[in-house]
Amino acid sequence: MKSSPYRWKDESAARFAQQHDAVLAVGRSQARPGEVSLSPATVREARDVRRLVLPSPNGSTIAQSMAGVAGEVIGVSLRNATAAAAWTAARLRSDKACGVAVVAAGEQWSNGALRPAVEDLWGAGAYLSALRRHGFDALSPEAQSAVAAFAHVSGDIARQLHAAASGRELAADGYRQDVDVAAEIDRSEVVPVLVERSFRAAALVASDRNSDT
Protein backbone atom coordinates (compact mmCIF):
# COMPACT_ATOMS: atom_id res chain seq x y z
CA MET A 1 0.00 0.00 0.00
CA LYS A 2 1.22 3.51 -0.83
CA SER A 3 0.22 6.18 1.71
CA SER A 4 0.29 9.93 1.24
CA PRO A 5 0.50 12.23 4.26
CA TYR A 6 -1.69 15.32 3.99
CA ARG A 7 -1.92 18.30 6.30
CA TRP A 8 -5.66 18.69 6.77
CA LYS A 9 -8.84 16.82 5.96
CA ASP A 10 -10.66 19.39 3.85
CA GLU A 11 -11.86 19.79 0.28
CA SER A 12 -8.29 19.93 -1.01
CA ALA A 13 -7.55 16.56 0.61
CA ALA A 14 -10.56 15.05 -1.13
CA ARG A 15 -9.40 16.48 -4.48
CA PHE A 16 -5.87 15.19 -3.88
CA ALA A 17 -7.18 11.69 -3.15
CA GLN A 18 -9.37 11.75 -6.25
CA GLN A 19 -6.51 12.94 -8.47
CA HIS A 20 -4.33 10.05 -7.29
CA ASP A 21 -7.04 7.39 -7.36
CA ALA A 22 -6.65 6.98 -3.59
CA VAL A 23 -8.88 6.36 -0.59
CA LEU A 24 -9.16 9.33 1.77
CA ALA A 25 -9.01 8.22 5.41
CA VAL A 26 -11.73 9.73 7.57
CA GLY A 27 -11.59 10.66 11.25
CA ARG A 28 -11.94 7.83 13.75
CA SER A 29 -15.33 8.98 14.99
CA GLN A 30 -16.63 9.60 11.46
CA ALA A 31 -15.86 6.13 10.08
CA ARG A 32 -18.75 3.91 9.06
CA PRO A 33 -18.44 0.11 8.92
CA GLY A 34 -15.88 -0.85 6.28
CA GLU A 35 -14.42 2.65 5.91
CA VAL A 36 -10.72 3.36 6.44
CA SER A 37 -10.04 5.94 9.11
CA LEU A 38 -7.03 7.23 11.03
CA SER A 39 -7.49 4.18 13.26
CA PRO A 40 -4.70 1.66 12.52
CA ALA A 41 -7.18 -1.15 13.12
CA THR A 42 -9.26 -0.05 10.12
CA VAL A 43 -6.16 0.21 7.93
CA ARG A 44 -5.21 -3.33 8.91
CA GLU A 45 -8.67 -4.61 8.02
CA ALA A 46 -8.82 -2.76 4.68
CA ARG A 47 -8.93 -4.84 1.52
CA ASP A 48 -7.96 -3.83 -2.02
CA VAL A 49 -6.70 -0.38 -0.93
CA ARG A 50 -3.57 0.40 -2.95
CA ARG A 51 -3.30 4.14 -2.24
CA LEU A 52 -4.34 5.89 0.97
CA VAL A 53 -4.33 9.59 1.86
CA LEU A 54 -3.80 10.16 5.57
CA PRO A 55 -4.61 13.72 6.69
CA SER A 56 -3.44 14.82 10.14
CA PRO A 57 -2.17 18.04 11.75
CA ASN A 58 0.74 16.25 13.43
CA GLY A 59 2.65 13.38 11.76
CA SER A 60 1.41 14.06 8.24
CA THR A 61 2.06 17.79 8.53
CA ILE A 62 5.59 17.20 9.82
CA ALA A 63 6.33 14.75 7.01
CA GLN A 64 5.11 17.20 4.40
CA SER A 65 7.13 20.03 5.95
CA MET A 66 10.34 18.01 6.12
CA ALA A 67 10.01 16.73 2.57
CA GLY A 68 11.17 20.06 1.21
CA VAL A 69 14.13 20.57 3.53
CA ALA A 70 15.44 17.14 4.54
CA GLY A 71 17.41 14.62 2.50
CA GLU A 72 15.35 11.45 3.01
CA VAL A 73 12.32 11.17 5.26
CA ILE A 74 11.23 7.82 6.70
CA GLY A 75 8.35 6.81 8.92
CA VAL A 76 9.32 5.18 12.20
CA SER A 77 7.28 3.81 15.09
CA LEU A 78 7.61 1.23 17.83
CA ARG A 79 6.38 -1.31 15.27
CA ASN A 80 9.34 -0.94 12.87
CA ALA A 81 12.07 0.76 14.92
CA THR A 82 14.67 -2.00 14.50
CA ALA A 83 14.11 -2.34 10.75
CA ALA A 84 14.24 1.44 10.31
CA ALA A 85 17.49 1.64 12.28
CA ALA A 86 19.09 -1.09 10.16
CA TRP A 87 18.07 0.75 6.97
CA THR A 88 19.44 4.02 8.35
CA ALA A 89 22.71 2.41 9.44
CA ALA A 90 23.27 1.09 5.93
CA ARG A 91 22.72 4.58 4.50
CA LEU A 92 25.09 6.12 7.04
CA ARG A 93 27.83 3.64 6.17
CA SER A 94 27.54 4.52 2.49
CA ASP A 95 27.53 8.27 3.12
CA LYS A 96 29.79 9.28 6.00
CA ALA A 97 28.82 12.95 5.63
CA CYS A 98 25.13 12.55 6.31
CA GLY A 99 23.44 12.84 9.69
CA VAL A 100 20.13 11.89 11.25
CA ALA A 101 17.42 14.10 12.71
CA VAL A 102 14.70 12.36 14.72
CA VAL A 103 11.37 14.13 15.23
CA ALA A 104 8.95 12.85 17.86
CA ALA A 105 5.78 14.12 16.22
CA GLY A 106 3.58 14.84 19.22
CA GLU A 107 0.06 16.17 18.71
CA GLN A 108 -1.84 19.43 18.83
CA TRP A 109 -4.46 20.70 21.21
CA SER A 110 -7.64 22.08 19.64
CA ASN A 111 -6.20 25.62 19.91
CA GLY A 112 -3.12 24.64 17.87
CA ALA A 113 -0.71 24.47 20.82
CA LEU A 114 1.76 21.59 21.02
CA ARG A 115 0.63 18.54 22.94
CA PRO A 116 3.71 16.44 23.79
CA ALA A 117 3.06 12.70 23.41
CA VAL A 118 5.19 10.37 25.52
CA GLU A 119 4.50 7.46 23.16
CA ASP A 120 6.25 9.36 20.36
CA LEU A 121 9.24 9.95 22.65
CA TRP A 122 9.35 6.20 23.31
CA GLY A 123 9.19 5.50 19.59
CA ALA A 124 12.11 7.83 18.98
CA GLY A 125 14.00 6.15 21.81
CA ALA A 126 13.38 2.67 20.38
CA TYR A 127 14.75 3.75 17.00
CA LEU A 128 17.78 5.49 18.48
CA SER A 129 18.50 2.51 20.76
CA ALA A 130 18.52 0.22 17.72
CA LEU A 131 20.73 2.67 15.83
CA ARG A 132 23.25 2.58 18.68
CA ARG A 133 23.45 -1.19 18.37
CA HIS A 134 24.78 -0.60 14.85
CA GLY A 135 27.61 1.47 16.29
CA PHE A 136 26.14 4.95 15.80
CA ASP A 137 26.15 6.28 19.32
CA ALA A 138 27.14 9.95 18.93
CA LEU A 139 23.80 11.10 20.31
CA SER A 140 22.72 14.55 21.39
CA PRO A 141 21.52 15.02 24.99
CA GLU A 142 17.95 15.11 23.67
CA ALA A 143 18.45 11.82 21.84
CA GLN A 144 20.02 10.26 24.94
CA SER A 145 16.97 11.30 26.93
CA ALA A 146 14.69 9.54 24.43
CA VAL A 147 16.82 6.39 24.68
CA ALA A 148 16.62 6.49 28.49
CA ALA A 149 12.86 7.03 28.39
CA PHE A 150 12.35 4.00 26.15
CA ALA A 151 14.68 1.83 28.25
CA HIS A 152 12.57 2.62 31.30
CA VAL A 153 9.38 1.22 29.74
CA SER A 154 10.64 -1.26 27.13
CA GLY A 155 9.88 -4.31 29.25
CA ASP A 156 6.33 -3.17 29.94
CA ILE A 157 5.45 -1.19 26.83
CA ALA A 158 1.88 -2.38 26.30
CA ARG A 159 0.77 -1.50 29.82
CA GLN A 160 2.61 1.80 29.73
CA LEU A 161 0.98 2.78 26.43
CA HIS A 162 -2.45 2.01 27.82
CA ALA A 163 -1.64 4.00 30.98
CA ALA A 164 -0.39 7.07 29.09
CA ALA A 165 -2.75 9.98 28.47
CA SER A 166 -3.21 9.20 24.77
CA GLY A 167 -3.85 5.53 25.47
CA ARG A 168 -6.45 6.28 28.12
CA GLU A 169 -8.14 8.74 25.78
CA LEU A 170 -8.29 6.25 22.92
CA ALA A 171 -9.60 3.48 25.16
CA ALA A 172 -12.29 5.77 26.56
CA ASP A 173 -13.40 6.59 23.00
CA GLY A 174 -13.59 2.90 22.08
CA TYR A 175 -10.24 2.53 20.29
CA ARG A 176 -8.33 0.31 22.70
CA GLN A 177 -7.29 -1.89 19.77
CA ASP A 178 -5.33 1.01 18.28
CA VAL A 179 -3.16 1.07 21.40
CA ASP A 180 -2.64 -2.68 21.12
CA VAL A 181 -1.45 -2.21 17.53
CA ALA A 182 0.96 0.53 18.59
CA ALA A 183 2.46 -1.79 21.22
CA GLU A 184 3.49 -4.43 18.67
CA ILE A 185 7.21 -3.71 18.94
CA ASP A 186 9.18 -4.66 15.82
CA ARG A 187 6.24 -6.52 14.31
CA SER A 188 6.87 -4.80 10.97
CA GLU A 189 10.00 -4.85 8.80
CA VAL A 190 8.65 -2.25 6.36
CA VAL A 191 10.53 1.06 6.21
CA PRO A 192 8.33 3.77 4.62
CA VAL A 193 10.34 6.29 2.58
CA LEU A 194 8.76 9.58 1.53
CA VAL A 195 9.08 9.89 -2.25
CA GLU A 196 7.66 13.18 -3.50
CA ARG A 197 4.33 13.20 -1.63
CA SER A 198 3.86 9.52 -0.82
CA PHE A 199 5.39 6.99 1.55
CA ARG A 200 6.55 3.84 -0.21
CA ALA A 201 8.27 0.75 1.18
CA ALA A 202 12.06 1.17 1.03
CA ALA A 203 12.43 -2.07 -0.93
CA LEU A 204 10.15 -0.75 -3.66
CA VAL A 205 12.01 2.57 -3.79
CA ALA A 206 15.33 0.75 -4.14
CA SER A 207 13.89 -1.43 -6.89
CA ASP A 208 12.73 1.64 -8.81
CA ARG A 209 16.17 3.26 -8.46
CA ASN A 210 17.95 0.13 -9.67
CA SER A 211 15.72 -0.08 -12.73
CA ASP A 212 16.73 3.45 -13.67
CA THR A 213 20.44 2.64 -13.78
Q: What is the pLDDT of residues 64-101, one digit of tens each?
A: 888 777 678 999 999 999 999 999 999 999 877 678 99
pLDDT at 206: 60
Please check whether residues 82 and 166 belong to one and the same domain.
Answer: yes
User: For residue 211, what are the domain limits?
Assistant: 1-70+194-213
**Where residue 88 sits, what CATH number does that domain have?**
3.90.1560.10
pLDDT at 136: 92
Please check whether residues 102 and 55 belong to one and the same domain.
Answer: no
Give the model confidence (pLDDT) of 132-148 as tens digits. 999 998 999 999 999 99
Please check whether residues 53 and 30 belong to one and the same domain.
Answer: yes
Please check whether residues 117 and 88 belong to one and the same domain.
Answer: yes
Please check whether residues 86 and 136 belong to one and the same domain.
Answer: yes
pLDDT at 207: 53
Please check whether residues 40 and 20 belong to one and the same domain.
Answer: yes
Q: Break the chain down into helix, strand, coil percent, rounded to 5.
A: 50, 15, 40
Three-state SS at 22: coil
Nearest to 59 by CA among 101, 7, 15, 13: 7
Domain count within the chain = 2
Please check whether residues 6 and 81 belong to one and the same domain.
Answer: no
pLDDT at 31: 78
Please check whether residues 10 and 56 belong to one and the same domain.
Answer: yes
pLDDT at 63: 85
Answering whether pTM is above 0.85, one says yes
Residues of the chain with confidence (pLDDT) below 50: none
pLDDT at 79: 96
pLDDT at 16: 83
pLDDT at 114: 82
Please check whether residues 166 and 135 belong to one and the same domain.
Answer: yes
Please check whether residues 204 and 131 belong to one and the same domain.
Answer: no
Please check whether residues 106 and 183 belong to one and the same domain.
Answer: yes
Please check whether residues 186 and 206 belong to one and the same domain.
Answer: no
